[in-house]
Amino acid sequence: MREKLKFIIGRIKAGRLQEMKKQTIWIYQYAKRYWLIMILYTLLGMVSTVISLVISMVSRDLVDIITGHETGEVIQTFCMMIGLNVGTTFLSQISDYASSYLSMKVDAEIKTDIFSKILVTDWESLTNYHTGDLLTRWSSDASNISSGVLNFVPNAIIYLFRFISAFSMVIYYDASFAIFAFLGMPVSLLLSKTLLRRMVRNNERSAAMGAKMSGFNQETFSNIQTIKAFDLIHIYIERLKQLQKEYISMKLDFQKMSMGTSILLSTVALLVSYASYGWGLYRVWSGAISYGTMTMFLSLSGTLTGTLHNLTSLVPSVISLTTSAGRLMDIIEMPREDYSHNDEVAAFWNQNKENGISLQIENLEYSYKTGTKVFQDASLEVHPHEVIALVGPSGEGKTTMIRLILSLMQSQGGSAFLFGGSTTKQASGSNTVALTPSTRKLFSYVPQGNTMFSGTIAENMRNVKPDATDEEIIEALQLACAWDFVEKLPMGIHSEIKERGGGFSEGQAQRLSIARALLRRSPILLLDEATSALDVATERRVLKSIMRDEYPRTCIVTTHRPSVLNICKRVYAIQNKSCVVLSEKEIDDMMRNF
C-alpha cells in the first residue's frame, strides 16, 4: 500500500512538473522577444555585484588603515569607497529602468495578445467563463507574468553569480568562514519545499477568490438599477462582507504560515550571523586575520545568506508565474473561430453588391452541449428587399437561430448558405458561400436589450463605420425613426450617451441601435426583438421605413409580438424544433388573439 501511494504521489508530481514546464515555455514565447534587454539587465546586476564585492575589499582596507594594520592613504581609500557606492546607485537606477521598461512592454504585449485571442475564441466555449473571471485573468494574471519575467532567468543568474563570487572570496581569504555561510542552507531548503506546496495551493485559491470577487463587483455595478428596485442593497452589502471575510481568512491563513517561516529563517540568520561574528572575533584575537578582514567576512556572510534566501524565494515566484500562465492558457487554448474565408467572402460581396444577398437554411440541426435538442430539420429562406419574421414562445430558439446565422454557434447538421440576388441557391450556381465567422461582415445585428456604448451618438454610429459623415449618420437616424428626437437635443448627434444607454429611454436606445446597424449598410439585417421597447405604431413605422429603403437589404426579425407580421413577406413559426411558414389565416389568428 505504501509503495502504491508513493507511486501515485510520484505520478502527481511528475504531472505537475510537466505542466509547469509547458507553462514556462509559454511564458518564454513572450520573454524571448526582449532578450537584449534581459541580457542588459543581467549584466548590470552582475556588474553591480562585482562593485559590491570591491566595496567590501575597499572597506576592509579602510578599516585596516584606521586600526593601523596597514599603511595607506585614508582619504584616497575613503573617496574610492564613496565613488564605488555612487556607481552602484547609478547602476541600480539603470537596472530599475530596464526592469520597468521590460515589464511594461511584456505586460502590454501579453494583454494585447490575450485580448485579441479572447475576441476570436469560440463564443460557446467562452460563455463557460464568468465575465469577472475573464477580466481577472486578462488583467491580474497578465500583469503578474509581465512583472515576474525578470524574477526568473535574469535574477536567477544574478543571484547565482553573486553567491559564487562572494563564496569564492571567502574561500580565498579564509576558508573557515565558508562553513558559516552554509549553516542556514538545510533549513532554507527544507522550508522552500514546504513553501512550494503551500504556494501552489494559495495561488490557486487566491486566483479563484479574486475571480469570484471581480465577478460579484462587475455584476453588482452592472445591475444597480435592479438592486435598488428590489430593495436588495442590504443583501448585497452583506454578500460583499461575506466575500471579504472569506478573502481575508484565506490571506491570513497563508500569512500565518509565512510569518512562522520568516521568524524561523530570521532566527537562523541571526544565529549564523552571531556565530560568524564570534568566530571572527576569535580569529582577530588569535592574530590570524585583521579586524578589517573580519568586517569583510561579516559583510560577505550577510551577502551569502541573503543571496541564498533570494534564490529560494524564486521558487514561489516561479509557482506564481506558472499558475497565472496556466489560467491564461486555459482561455487561449479554447477553440478558435475560423476566419480563413475572409478573401472569399470579400470577393463574393463585391460580386453581389448591386443585387443584394439571399440567405437559405436547409435541414438545420442543433443541440446544446447539455444535449437539449433545439432544431431538427429546420429550414428558411429570405431574399433582398424582404422582411421575414421568426415567431414563437420565449425559449423556443429564436435567438439561437440568429446566433447560428452569425456563426456564434455551430450546427451539427444541415446547411446554411448565402447566395447572390433573389434567385434560389440552386439557380445561383457557384455564386454561394457557406455561413462562417468570415461572413459576419455581411450582417448588421441589433440584439435584445440596450447595446449603446458611452460616448456621443455620433461616436456610437461611427463604431461600425469610422468614415461616416454627419449627413450619413442623420440619414440612418431618419431611417430608424430616431431623428425626430435626436434633432431636438441641444447637441444633436454630438449629444452624450451615458453608460448602458443612460439618458435615453429604452425605445430611443433601440432606435439608435437600429440606426447604427443601418449605417453600416450591410446586405443582411438581423433584428432580434430589437423593437420590443417600441410602441406598435413606432415599430411598424420603423420596419416600413426599412422596407421602403432602395438599398437591397435582406431583413430577419424575431418577435414575440404579432403586431407587425402582416407587413412581413413570410412568417416562420418555430414549432416542434422546426421552422414552419404560417399561412395568412394563421397570421391573422395570431394577431387577433394577441
CATH number of the structural domain spanning residue 127: 1.20.1560.10
CA–CA separation, 561 and 393 (whole Å): 10
Asked if residue 37 lies in contact with residue 98, where contact means CB atoms within 8 angstroms, the answer is yes
Q: Is residue 459 part of a domain?
A: yes
Q: Domain boundary residue among 332, 354, 388?
A: 332
Q: Does residue 91 share a domain with residue 157? A: yes
Classify residue 29: in a domain, yes or no: no
Q: How far apart are CA 461 and CA 519, in angstroms?
A: 7
With contact defined as beta carbons under 8 Å apart, do 557 and 584 qualify? no
Q: State how far the Cα of 559 lies from the Cα of 92, in Å rounded to an integer.
A: 66
Single out the residue in 332, 365, 386 at which a domain terminates.
332
Sorted by sequence, the CB contacts under 8 Å of residue 442 that are 6+ apart come out as: 345, 349, 357, 418, 522, 523, 524
Do 128 and 238 share a domain, yes or no?
Answer: yes
Could you tell me the CATH number of the domain that includes residue 432? 3.40.50.300
Q: Which residue has the cell 455584476?
A: 219
Same domain, 508 and 571: yes
Measured CA angle at 591 (ends 588, 593), to 5 deg: 105
Residue 320: φ, ψ to 5°:
-65, -40
Using CA atoms, how far apart are residues 55 and 296, in angstroms rounded to an integer? 9
- Residue 154 identity (one-letter amino acid): P
Q: Would you say residue 2 lies in a domain? A: no
CB 356 within 8 A of CB 552: yes
Q: Check: CB of residue 298 under 8 Å from CB of residue 280.
A: yes
Q: Is 365 in the same domain as 264?
A: no
In a domain, 425, yes or no: yes
Instruction: State whether 60 and 177 are in the same domain.
Output: yes
Is the domain of 564 the same as that of 417? yes
Q: Which residues pair with 378 in a beta bridge?
A: 364
CA of residue 45 relative to chain centroid, distance: 32
Distance CA 300, CA 272 (A): 12
**Where does residue 71 rank: exposed (0-12), middle (13-18), buried (19+ CB within 10 A)?**
exposed
- As a dihedral over the C-alpha atoms of residue 301, residue 305, residue 307, residue 313, rounded to 10 degrees, the angle is -170
356 and 483 share a domain?
Answer: yes
- Say if residues 434 and 416 touch (Cβ distance below 8 Å): yes
Nearest in space to 508 (alpha carbons), one of 521, 524, 495: 495
β-strand pairing of 554-559 with 524-528: parallel
Residues 310 and 358 in one domain: no
509 CB-near residues (< 8 Å, 6+ apart): 450, 452, 501, 533
- For strands 455-456 and 524-528, give the pairing: unpaired
Cell of 104: 511594461
Domain residue limits at 84: 35-332
Q: Pairing state of beta strands 387-391 and 570-575? A: parallel
How many independent structural domains does the chain possess?
A: 2
How is residue 254 written as a grid cell? 497563508
Helix (H) / strand (E) element for 191: namely: helix 185-222
CA dist 544 and 276 (Å) reads: 92
Residue 17 within a domain: no
Our CA angle for 359, 360, 363, nearest 5°, is 150
3-state helix, strand, coil in the chain (%, to 5): 65, 10, 20
The CA angle 569-574-578, to the nearest 5 degrees, is: 105
In a domain, 501, yes or no: yes
Q: Do 48 and 196 lie in a common domain?
A: yes
Residue 10 lies in a domain: no
> How many residues comprise the chain?
594
- Quick one: pLDDT at residue 211? 73
Q: Are 187 and 271 in contact (CB under 8 A)?
A: no
**Residue 414 and residue 514 in one domain:** yes
In this structure, is residue 337 part of a structural domain? no
Q: For residue 29, give the C-alpha cell.
A: 514565447
Residue-level pLDDT at 12? 41
Residues 148 and 249 occupy one common structural domain: yes
| Buried residues in 313-334 as b, exposed as e (16+ CB within 10 A) | ebebbbbbbbbbbbbbbebbeb
66: Cβ–Cβ under 8 A, 6 or more apart, which residues? 74
Q: In this structure, are residues 381 and 419 in contact, taking their beta carbons and an 8 Å threshold?
A: no
* Whether residues 236 and 151 fall in one domain: yes
Residue 495 near residue 456 (C-beta atoms within 8 A) = yes
pTM for the structure as a whole? 0.70
Tell me which amino acid residue 576 is.
Answer: N
433 close to 417: Cβ distance less than 8 angstroms: yes
Q: Measuring CA to CA, which residue among 104, 132, 125 is closest to residue 34?
A: 104
Q: Choose among 351, 347, 378: nearest CA to 363.
A: 378
pLDDT of residue 62: 73
Q: Could you list the mean pLDDT of each consecutive 10-residue stretch along the chain, which spans 594 residues?
A: 44 57 77 78 84 80 69 71 79 78 78 84 81 79 76 81 84 73 60 59 71 76 71 82 84 74 69 72 75 75 73 72 82 84 91 90 88 88 90 83 90 89 58 90 84 85 90 90 89 85 82 88 86 76 76 85 79 88 83 70
Sequence-distant (≥ 6) Cβ neighbours of residue 370 within 8 angstroms? none
Task: Give the pLDDT score at 329.
Answer: 84
Residue 228 in grid coordinates: 435598488
Which one, of 232, 296, 37, 31, lies nearest residue 146 by Cα?
31
Closest CA to 440 of 475, 411, 405: 405
Q: Among the three residues 332, 363, 389, which one is the final residue of a domain in this structure? A: 332
Q: How far apart are CA 9 and CA 12, in angstroms?
A: 5
First to last CA, the chain: 71
